[in-house]
Amino acid sequence: MSRNAADFYHNFAGAKIIVARDAEKNILGRAVVWEKVICEDDSKQQDAEVSVLDRIYYSHDFIIKIIRNFAQSIGIRLRKKYNSHTSTDEFSALNDIPELSLEAGSKFNSSTLRIKVPATQWHKHGAPYMDTFYAVGLCYDDRIYLRNGEYSDCFATCRQTNGYAQKQRNVCPVCNRVCLGSGEQFCTKCTEKYIIETAFGKAFFGRTVEYKDKKYPRFLFKKGRPNQNLKRFFQIEKLYQ
């Protein structure tokens, strides 16, 4: 899991990690820093971008203050108000944030923070346990995000310690929409468009193609290769493998 965690933080979500060491280079504490967190603000036309210091893991209590002070010194803007996995929407400003009308030390509550994920960049499988940005969703702009709360676009959560995400809903491989409800692999619209009910069960319209020893509907391929939506579907499936 530790191998996958570093890959996930950096390649999947573009995070960095603050590490506290003693004179002998022993690790005394660490905390993930999310540098490009999007904060939705209904009162403004443009969302604000903030950096967030996540939960601190430590060997001694004083390490918490050391890491927080260091994060403040390098300009990190928000930190978790409570050093736990439960308070995912309560924060405190480490530095002034004019875009949110916050002064250093101010409290800030928001359940709509999100981190844009580069859907084709991560390459390893699985996902580590996440404290704050634990919900993986497909937002209205068809991009994958890590979020600090579960909404209708949430298709997976990273709250397991086995190194893999927990699937909450299926993502339709045709249109990349989150399937709500029934547990079907295809969303309702794509089911109506591409699948017919026969006397022997459900069947796809058209032909199939073989790809990596499995058969798929031909309309999901272009020139023999998976189309963009199917590629994203394969990337999402890596979270559970």
Tens digits of residue pLDDT in 11-29: 777 788 999 999 999 999 9
pLDDT at 1: 36
Distances (CA, A) of 212 to 77, 88, 216, 226, 234: 46, 40, 10, 11, 12
**Sequence-ordered list of residues with C-beta below 8 angstroms from that of 105, at least 6 positions apart, any chain:** 92, 93
| Separation of alpha carbons 191 and 203, rounded Å | 10
In the chain, which stretches have pLDDT less than 50?
1-3
Contacts 24+ apart (CB under 8 A), 237-240: 238/122, 238/124, 238/125, 238/126, 239/125, 239/126, 239/127, 239/136, 239/156, 239/158, 239/164, 239/165, 239/167, 240/156, 240/164, 240/165, 240/167
**Sequence-ordered list of residues with C-beta below 8 angstroms from that of 213, at least 6 positions apart, any chain:** none
pLDDT at 204: 77
- Full-model pTM: 0.87
pLDDT at 41: 62
The β-bridge partners of 209 are: 216
pLDDT at 3: 45
pLDDT at 176: 86
